[in-house]
Amino acid sequence: MIGQNQWSVTAKQPSLAGRTALVTGGNSGLGFETACGLATRGARLLLPVRNPERGQQAAQAILARCPTATLELLPLDLSALTSIAACATTVAQHTDRLDFLINNAGVMAPAHRQETQDGFELQFGTNHLGHFALTYHLRPLLEAAPGGGVVVTVASLAACKGSIHFDDLQFRHRYSPFGAYQQSKLANLIFARELARRAGDAGWNLHSRAAHPGWSSTSIIANGPASTLPSALAATQRTLGTAVLRIMGQSAARGAEPLLYAALAPTARDGDYYGPQGRHERRGPPGPAYVPPTALKASTAERLWAASERLTGLGW
């Protein structure tokens, strides 16, 4: 049995030689560390990025850590449905199968309500609907993988405090930065579980699991509430937020371990949720995570799925 210490991003087992992985948000934080973990094990990486310059910097950093890595950068804006469809078409030009899809990229709690190009609240539209659409478009490649491709959707401890506001999914009437973030991460968790259920019922050749990183120090702090504050105040908030996470949480590399565990562990099961095993699941080695009651209701999952299909115009 593979030990928990082998889920470090520097581990080389299990071997992923000949397999292809796509990681959203792979240019920084959890996505970068997860990409490194897959590359170290021999996987070929497809890294869709919104900012080409940051993508090139991430590619150089991955190659510095893993000189034998094979990777390709692709354009993707998860806040635009047209970009998502175009990215999936490009992926199909690069590979005839996809062994791993890590739905990781996210936006965290902008102070003021923003919308995607398609008119969705930014966090719900990017974190949930963007990955819902990307997974839909990549499903043929996932099903073409021997044994079925593995989809890992990244949720958060914030999901435990979230609820799905079906009467105002886009937070048009009363915007709450963290309320909208909590909803989007709960939606990530529900989507992962519902995709696993539907795949099992319909016989789709793919696997779906969820994971969260605990309290991990990543750039999502800088890209979240602090990004809309005056520069001096933003710098202070980033410093304080990062310090709290370092003291009470863990590094991005450790936070990536539950994601790798969900994707690679022989004991990982479809529909299950994985995270750190320490106090309050903030830090520690990976293992099973607590699923909040709001993510267990079949009626909520079916309603969210139907709403997601309607909003994206994509029928599974």
Query: Which residues are catalytic, by number?
Result: 181
Alpha carbons 59 and 23: distance in angstroms, whole number: 13
CB-CB contact of 187 with 135 (8 Å): no
The angle formed by the CA atoms of residues 162, 223 and 121, to the nearest 5 degrees, is 50
- Among candidate residues 19, 25, 23, the one with its CA nearest the CA of residue 43: 19
SS3 of 312, please?
A: helix
- Among candidate residues 238, 215, 213, 212, the one with its CA nearest the CA of residue 225: 238
Alpha carbons 70 and 90: distance in angstroms, whole number: 17
Within 8 A by CB and 6+ apart from 214, the residues are 157, 249, 250, 254, 255, 258, 275, 276, 278, 281, 282, 283, 284
SS3 of 206, please?
A: strand
